[in-house]
Amino acid sequence: MTKTIHPRSRKVRILATLGPASSSPEQIAALYEAGADAFRINMSHGDQQSKVAVIAAIRELETIYRRPTTILADLQGPKLRVGKFADGKAELVKGATFILDRSSELGDAGRAELPHREIFAAIEPGARLLLDDGKLVLRVTEHDADRIVTEVIVGGWLSNNKGLNVPDVVVPMAALTEKDRSDLAFACDQGVDWIALSFVQRPEDLAEARKLIQGRAALLAKIEKPSAIERLEEIVEMCDGVMVARGDLGVELPPETVPPLQKRIIEVSRRLGRPVVVATQMLESMITSPSPTRAEVSDVATAIYDGADAIMLSAESASGSWPTESVAMMDAIGAAVERDPTHGDRIHFTVTRPDPTTADALAEAAKNIAATVSAVAIICFTASGSTARRVARERPGVPLMVLTPKPETARRSGLLWGAYPILTKDVTSFEEMVSKSKRMALRHGIAKAGDRVIIMAGVPFGTPGSTNVLHVVRIVGDELNGYSS
């Protein structure tokens, strides 16, 4: 049975993480109807086989709602952990000496195993080591090839296999572990649309993932390491999208530095034309509560005012008690912010100057013309999705209809600001382009008789990268007559 879901009035996208609280087809459909535009599958939890049914359920939405769906597979990345303790845990006392070594013996209050040889080679005296999401802090006093001697700066209880962060040095570890390579191959075989690479430190980290993906998915870089900030523009240029992963970023850096960094990452991503997702702890209290705090609402609103393409829910929708309500709340916040008369001015604080290309010039012109003639939509015909990305970068005040004959392009567009992707046959003439644009705008409820729409395409038709046409048309009442897909 097919259902109708009306076009989203808001332009910021919502990325919902799936998990134990939201893995059944019924729950996934409920999240979609509540406002989820794309779905994140966290490869850190569960086995690959458990993901097969979840991916199939997301794709089934395309049959039910006749709309493309978007799936992002988030790779775990290299997790640094200490070893185990003789009593399961030990108390590290402030001012005491604590040693990390390569011995496999069970640890105590004076030492523990660190099974990552790369850290021993990279660490330097004075560097900090953060344990258990930053709850404990050590400072390195001396080291050799097998031992790191530290002073406990912030003490507390440390239990088995707790995580370790090394914020002050670049650890020469491969960005992809064996698990990541296996998960990446699985995700591509399953036809996911985006692959998120965790703990990116340098642009070179993206090269292996890009090679393994072989064009089967778009590549998103998660910015969660201080070293990534140092080479931010290079990393953004190397990927297809960016995530502001505030969880680990807030562990490795002082928390007060995260808000300005969030703004900087969004600014760089927008300027370079990459979709940007703001993630982690956006509605954290809704894991256990049916309503968020006012501070959380303000946090989500700030990301939208900054011009993020998408905002993400993590545990709120994956394992919380109120997954559907969390999506609905994020949807409501997005709609409310975008109704603010000042929203349009605020999202254009970031200056996105066009490159000296015809396609960029037309994308900027489409935004300006839409405002001048009060058009209700910009309609772009695209095979690769590059035209849609250019227009989305300009943050026009109207929906962006993305008409494409390629399922992968339609699905990948799900993270673009304001995008409404439609899978349809390609056009072969100017007249067909105009008539199809009108029909699609009417059919999908984005325009009505008397409205103007702006059309962008490339001539000759069907040639990727040839965007060279911008056309303004007015819709009349009988455009649906003789409709074909």
CATH code given to domain 89-165: 2.40.33.10
**Lowest pLDDT segment from 17-21, 68-72, 349-353:** 349-353
What per-residue confidence (pLDDT) applies to 30? 97
In this predicted model, what pLDDT tens digit does every residue of 219-255 receive, in sequence order?
Answer: 999 999 888 999 999 999 999 999 999 988 888 888 8
Give the CA count within 13 Å in the CB-facing half-sphere of 26.
0
Segment 13-40 shows an average pLDDT of 97
- Check pLDDT > 60 for residue 403: yes
| Of 471 and 351, more confident | 471
Using CB atoms within 10 A of its CB, is residue 235 exposed (0-12), middle (13-18) or buried (19+)? buried
Q: Tell me, which fold does domain 13-77+175-346 have in CATH?
A: TIM Barrel (3.20.20)
| Cα 481 from Cα 484, distance rounded (Å) | 9
Task: Tell me which residue of 106, 100, 80 sits closest to 150, measured CA to CA.
Answer: 100
| Cα 474 from Cα 471, distance rounded (Å) | 10
Q: Predicted confidence band at 288 (pLDDT cuts at 50, 70, 90)?
A: very high
| Cα 111 from Cα 424, distance rounded (Å) | 62
In the chain, list all ranges with CATH 3.20.20.60: 13-77+175-346
Give the CA count within 13 Å in the CB-facing half-sphere of 391.
35
DSSP string, 412-423: HGGGSTTEEEEE
Segment 393-416 shows an average pLDDT of 96
Do the beta carbons of residue 346 and residue 12 sit within 8 Å?
no
What per-residue confidence (pLDDT) applies to 483? 44
| Cα 144 from Cα 124, distance rounded (Å) | 10
- Check pLDDT > 70 for residue 478: no
Strand 13-18 versus strand 38-42 pairing type: parallel
In the chain, list all ranges with CATH 2.40.33.10: 89-165
Global pTM reads 0.91
| Cα 296 from Cα 56, distance rounded (Å) | 33
Using CB atoms within 10 A of its CB, is residue 447 exposed (0-12), middle (13-18) or buried (19+)? buried
Q: Which residues pair with 131 in a beta bridge?
A: 136, 164
In this predicted model, what pLDDT tens digit does every residue of 39-94 receive, in sequence order?
Answer: 999 999 889 999 999 999 999 999 999 999 999 999 999 888 999 999 999 999 99
Do the beta carbons of residue 471 and residue 434 sit within 8 Å?
yes
Segment 121-139 shows an average pLDDT of 93
Q: Predicted confidence band at 358 (pLDDT cuts at 50, 70, 90)?
A: confident
What per-residue confidence (pLDDT) applies to 463? 73
Q: What is the DSSP letter of 310?
A: E
| Cα 357 from Cα 440, distance rounded (Å) | 28
| Cα 276 from Cα 259, distance rounded (Å) | 15
| Cα 462 from Cα 234, distance rounded (Å) | 32
Q: Return the CATH superfamily for domain 358-474.
A: Pyruvate kinase, C-terminal domain (3.40.1380.20)
In this predicted model, what pLDDT tens digit does every residue of 298-310 receive, in sequence order?
Answer: 999 999 999 999 9
- Residue type for 210, please? R
What per-residue confidence (pLDDT) applies to 171? 84
Helix %, strand %, coil % for the chain, to 5?
35, 25, 40
Catalytic residues: 40, 81, 222, 280
Number of residues that make up the chain: 485
| Cα 168 from Cα 364, distance rounded (Å) | 41
Q: Predicted confidence band at 434 (pLDDT cuts at 50, 70, 90)?
A: very high
Do the beta carbons of residue 283 and residue 249 sit within 8 Å?
no
Do the beta carbons of residue 450 and residue 349 sit within 8 Å?
no
Do the beta carbons of residue 5 and residue 65 sit within 8 Å?
yes
What per-residue confidence (pLDDT) applies to 485? 45
What per-residue confidence (pLDDT) applies to 481? 56
| Cα 390 from Cα 392, distance rounded (Å) | 6
- Check pLDDT > 50 for residue 283: yes
Segment 1-22 shows an average pLDDT of 87
Helix (H) or strand (E) holding 115: none
Alpha helices by DSSP H, 353-385 = 358-373
What per-residue confidence (pLDDT) applies to 359? 86
Q: Predicted confidence band at 314 (pLDDT cuts at 50, 70, 90)?
A: very high
- Check pLDDT > 60 for residue 36: yes
CA distances for 327 relative to 16, 183, 284, 290, 316, angstroms: 7, 27, 12, 11, 9
- Check pLDDT > 50 for residue 484: no
Task: Tell me which residue of 95, 97, 258 sits closest to 167, measured CA to CA.
Answer: 258
In the chain, list all ranges with CATH 3.40.1380.20: 358-474
Tokens of 449: 């008789």
Segment 437-455 shows an average pLDDT of 94
What SS3 class is residue 375? coil
Do the beta carbons of residue 415 and residue 346 sit within 8 Å?
no
Do the beta carbons of residue 93 and residue 155 sit within 8 Å?
yes
End-to-end CA distance of the chain: 19
What SS3 class is residue 120? helix
Segment 183-196 shows an average pLDDT of 98
| Of 54 and 347, more confident | 54
Tokens of 189: 């075989």
CA distances for 416 relative to 90, 363, 390, 410, angstroms: 47, 14, 10, 11
In this predicted model, what pLDDT tens digit does every residue of 376-389 receive, in sequence order?
Answer: 999 999 999 999 99
